[in-house]
Amino acid sequence: MDKTLTRAQITQAVQEAYEECKNISGGHNADYIPFLANIDPNLFGLSVTLLDGTVINVGDTEYKFGIESVSKVLTAILVLKQHGADAVLKQIGADATGLPFNSIFAILLENDHPSTPLVNAGAITACSMVEPKGDSWGKWEAIINNFTDLCGSEAQVIDELYKSESDTNFNNRAIAWLLKNYNRIYDDVPMSLDLYTRQCSVGITASQLSICAGTIANGGLNPVTKAQVFAPELAPKITTLISSVGFYQNTGDWLYSSGIPAKSGVGGGVLGVMPGVMGIAAFAPPLDVAGNSVKAQAAVKAVMKKLDLGVFNGDRVTVTD
């Protein structure tokens, strides 16, 4: 069916969703990374980027929070760009694990590949694939420049968060070495793990994340800067990865109830992609037991419901003035 939405309708839906969700309680800040435990749990931002470059921001959308697992989406795009979709499938995989984001069990079960670049194991492997091989600084530059291109503005590591994660990432160290055992780390192991830890520690705003989501929704063309950041044929590949594992073991429930492929992070961020229509991001630190932001989930769902949108609805959506 053809469906037309106006910018005013979308703006109103975002504002109403924010108001409805701002007093939702429940959940707890991630506490296994000490820095995240101390972030103000009342922060809340909601942002939508339309494909004409309009960015609708409500609440704390300029607050820089830890991007954490949402970074996996951005670096998966970089690796797709550098190596192509087939190589990513072969060297990492595209399967949902059905297990928590940091599962070691998942690696043991699927010893032939690390499943998907959107769980810790696959994300560490993705960092090992970033070019130029063997050059830690060059690889970091590629990762952070790709963040800038996708988000339309620069992002920087939060040093205190980076230190907090580096001091406590024992589980991820085990993952990295286990992957090495299966020949699934394609560069130096400590370097690959460090790049992963650093990318998780980048401070990002909800507004920047919604522009990144809008870039994916727009086939790789950043709607704000108008730069073609990645080839259009990679957009369905990254959206597929997000659809299948973006909420870890809760991904099916999420997609079924929200209608939008989205990726969460333990910093409280959620990035959602409605292909051909909009990117959306929400941020609020308290998480449910699976590590997904309680308020951000509610806010994204509320926007989708108000606009009667869903990635599988079969509608041809046009956004007008």
Residues of this chain that bind ligand GLU (CB under 6 A): 68-69, 101-102, 120, 165, 172, 200, 265-266, 291
- 57 vs 199, beta carbon nearer ligand GLU: 199
Strand partners of residue 263: 271
Report the nearest approach of ligand GLU to the CB of residue 13 (Å): 27
In the complex with ligand GLU, the residue whose CB is nearer, 200 or 235, is 200
Task: Report the residue number, 191 or 266, with the smaller CB distance to ligand GLU.
Answer: 266
Task: Please give the Cα distance from 119 to 51 (Å, whole number).
Answer: 28
Q: How far is the CB of 72 from ligand GLU (least distance, A)?
A: 8
Name the residue nearer to ligand GLU (CB basis): 123 or 142.
Answer: 123
37, amino acid identity? A
Q: CB of 290: closest distance to ligand GLU in angstroms?
A: 9
At its nearest, how many Å lie between ligand GLU and the CB of residue 71? 8
C-beta of 170: minimal distance to ligand GLU in Å? 10
* CA 110 – CA 72 distance, rounded (Å): 20
End-to-end CA distance of the chain: 20
Could you tell me how far CA 316 lies from the centroid of its own chain? 25
Q: Smaller CB distance to ligand GLU: residue 5 or 30? A: 30
What distance in Å separates the CA atoms of residue 70 and residue 73, rounded to the nearest whole number?
Answer: 6
Q: How far is the CB of 102 from ligand GLU (least distance, A)?
A: 5
Nearer to ligand GLU, 103 or 210 (CB): 103
CB of residue 124 to ligand GLU, shortest distance in Å: 9
Crossing angle for the helix pair 71-83 and 120-129, to the nearest 10 degrees: 40
Distance between CA 33 and CA 172 in Å, rounded? 12
CB atoms within 10 A of CB 299: 31
Q: Smaller CB distance to ligand GLU: residue 11 or 168?
A: 168
Q: How far apart are CA 310 and CA 256, in angstroms?
A: 10
Residue 285 beta carbon to ligand GLU: minimum distance, rounded to whole angstroms: 12
Minimum gap (Å) between residue 37 Cβ and ligand GLU: 13
Q: Residue 124 or 309: which CB sits closer to ligand GLU?
A: 124
89-98, Cβ contacts within 8 angstroms, sequence gap of 24 or more: 91/125, 91/129, 91/184, 91/186, 92/116, 92/117, 92/122, 92/125, 92/126, 92/129, 92/184, 93/122, 94/240, 94/241, 94/244, 95/244, 95/245, 96/244, 96/245, 96/251, 97/245, 97/248, 97/249, 98/249
Nearer to ligand GLU, 136 or 168 (CB): 168
Query: What's the rounded Cα separation, in Å, for the pair 193 and 127?
Result: 8
- Find, among 284, 302, 297, the residue nearest to 28 by Cα: 284
